[in-house]
Structure 1
């Protein structure tokens, strides 16, 4: 399946048209236990509002939005590059909301998304990337294989969708 997956960056108009499909991905991931800023139950309206806000950020060139599409054109994954940084950090961006549908996991999609997000960051003149993830989660292996450097952990930093505390691990990458 990974060979059939295409990763691409969305422009502002396309981001708006993909809000429904992106909401499906978000709801699937949160229902699967992903700690990505949302709690259960995640309403469809809340998910749609989130993606509308992301689309607005894309229109303002504050965010790059990437999607992974399967061979049938269905969005099965996404990641964002938050480029809106303080004046003294024009070289930095945050990688956020790495999401892959549960049905499409372990097929190399996240790895493809991370490769393309690096390319987009370079094209945008970014040389330092940062991200955070659940401590002990599957994503830690992905980031290590992709060349990210672990900075450290903060216990009880966030909540899982079910309300349980989770630690967060911070990473950086120089491009």
Structure 2
């Protein structure tokens, strides 16, 4: 079972036949290995409420069970002061008001569903242009997976498409 609650880490609870494991596996970020956190709540920022957590979609091929992918759409941070730099909310520096304001931008992430190690994200994708990286996060809209592609509706009035072309 996968859960990414608001202001929390992406977690997986393993099924043991009659019950779930009490200790979750926590996702780690691409390149850094740090635990992946949804944006934190910052009481002094109206635009940093840390909600709603990650919207998840799982793709599994029954003929290749170890080849699945867990996709997550979640908010990311932009510092105050109009900086164009975006920060990963999974890093400690994002837990301050100055570094994690404007949480309305999005990121699409892909994880190994067994290890919860991040495999890819649209911000680190060297082939993706700015139009696929700078968009508003759409709350409660999970990615849609079909025919080898991932479709992501945004709050910017666009649907982004990733995968085979």
TM-score normalized with structure 2 length:
0.30
* Greater helix share, structure number: 1
